[in-house]
Chains A and B, each alone.
Chain A
Amino acid sequence: MRAMKVRYGIVGGLILATMTFAALAEEQKTLVVGTITTPVVNNALGSGTAPGTPGTQVFAGLVELDDHFVPQPYLATSWDVSADGLVYTFHLRQGAKFHDGTPVTSEDVAFSVDTVRANHPFGRAMLGPVDRVETPDALTARFVLKQPHPAMLTSVTTLLLPILPRHVYDNGPIRTNPANTMAIGAGPFKVAEFKAGQSITLVKNPDFFMPGRPKSDRIILRFYDDMQSARLSLENGETDAILQTSFGYGDFDRLKKNPKLNVFTDTFAGLGIVDYLEFNLRKAPFNDLRVRKAIAHAIDRKFLVEKFQGGVTQQLEGPLPPDHPFATKDLVHYDYDLKEANRILDEAGYKPDANGVRFKATLDAPTFSPDGLGRVADYLKPQLKRIGIEIDRRISPDSATWAQRLSNYDYDMAMSQIYNYPDPVIGTHRLFLCKNQIKGVMFSNTGGYCNEKVDQLLEQASKETDPAKRKELYAQFQKIITEDLPYIYTTTELPYGVAQKSIVGLPKTVLGTMAPMWDMEKK
């Protein structure tokens, strides 16, 4: 009897041990990656990191940008550009298949162009110049342009133009297609499970066309909206990596000191994130350039960068971050000078009342950037009081409320942020074009800025194929913006990623987390 028990015990122990080993073995190939909540995987329908992170794992694009902004072959093995820059011919990879086994054809490319142009927030800017996509054979997609489009190759990365299987997505209204969550693409990972509001489980695509990739069997994309708990999960090892955090800059130094963690900032140059103070130019007194100039003089950018953002970010005076390929130094400068600010307002006739108040203004800020936008908005209240502007700092319970107020022009002043992306056509133009005032659409020209000269410059720059001339056009544009001051730029935002030191093969790219994690694995 006793021997039996012992034997059972041994057998039980063995089974347990085997199970543990199996679990460990499986654990080895699974990565837990933190990201922000997304309602969809299909990144043809939305911009930003939320759909961009899973989308770039599940879909493949024609090209990928490397860490020097240079397009590298992906679904397209090569491409030719005609001498006049009006025809781009992409040669698709032989044998590339979608997750359901159907081959990737030029028909799918043409369909994806139409879908993205109609549904993605930048669709018109990126693919508007494409007149049509010709499909002479299954493996050749010929983009015929209406005008030269220097941002063409940047616009066909997985992030901006995921190649969708036509037979899955050309099936009634795309917004309600179930494959927006259980997405089917040709990328390195398949969607195994989509838990709304919690996580996405991705499994290795065994038929992926790049040999040896992906290196991990499973990636769990876990949603974190509370950055405190996200940070703790990294510190206690529950999460392997968060490739783009929105932690405060105060955490930067502390995380760096943690011997188990790898903190990196080198993969975000292509995002070109800038923070700025935006005005509702439809309203007095914000339509008065002198008022905006005075406010520009009242902001101490050095203080913001050093005291609020731990010296991680950069002071910003124009629309593009200093390290952006199109940035210029030739801008109008507004030094921190409260006396000058008060003098300008005195001269402009904004007399202070008995309490020293010249006028009142509301100020909104979203919640997604606590150190960049929220804290700077809080800072502006006492700061602008010094030049006689009484700020009513309106609290938004979430970023959606802030976006709603701005896009419906229900605000005076607001802290805001935009991703410029590697090419200004994609991310920058939208804030400045007169015609891009679309009520209800966030990150359009919400302030109501309109300058024909700027429209002309941007129009020209979007067609100019000579890089040097193009850079010059954008330099002129940047200078005019600092003269007109529709936005007062404060600082750049530099997201940073955090991973356990045991994780190797982090995506090397300029688009942060929105690139394939095919080389990532745990060592």
Chain B
Amino acid sequence: MSVTTSVPEKAPAKPPRSLGDRLFSGVARAAGLTILAALAGVFIFLTIEGVPGLSQPTSTYAPNHDFLSYVGPLIYGTILAAVLALILAVPFALGIALFISHYAPRRLAVPVAYVIDLLAAVPSVVFGLWGARSLATYLVPLHEWLYAHLSWLPFFAGPPSVTGRTIFTAGIVLAIMILPIITAISREVFAQTPRLDQEAALALGATRWEMVRMAVFPYARSGMVSAIMLGLGRALGETMAVAMVLSASPIVTLNLISNTNPATVASNIASSFAEATPAKLHVLIATGLVLFAFTFAVNFAARWVVGRNDRRMSR
């Protein structure tokens, strides 16, 4: 008793903290600051090296004339490929995650989860090779079918590519690549849904799917957005798979199945980097800066949407 009362009189400063506590907080803080420093370093590099790329002689931007018209089709291609990949991958990924966490018997769920995780470890070059050499040829009939039956949609206006090396194929390859990360993270958050919430729904006479909609999805929403954002991030930045699948040309088109396809920022950097002049290099880095800023903006937007929902419910 007497010890505790005497302390505040003598020492209004902070209470003593143990060595381990101080050590850990120091290490954690250092780790956090390092990430910020690395991010700032990348940003500073991109800015210093990229800003000159905004105003190079016209010939550098061939076949276009200035930076905006050069980067425009690339950003468009990037978004198109990434959105296509998300549209294909998200329903599959969430379905697989839900199957593993809530539907499959344990002896099936564990191996399925393991295989999906393995998929994440396959290097993107391998996906690129497979997409360009194997998958593309198999998808040619699908391209033709889409053209024959759905050509009234601008996406399938055709004429269909005979090689199958289109943005449509690239989107499918990207979808397969981002599937594991979305699956793994959503599976984890689905599995953490409090038992009590799930039982609340079941006790009201919910079927399993109704229980998932009532208890699991609302609980996991923010985690699902994180998972999709990470997948989107990977799709936006993916280089090799897209570069190897696509035969690119600088155009903006909704047509997914024709011979002329827009390149993505990252694949364009990869395919032009080796033979770039110093001036061209600045331009490429500037496109990288645009991609960096764009990815940042998408992430912030998604966080804001999730945060707004959470804030509304906690009031």
A and B associate? no
A interface, CB within 8 angstroms of B: none
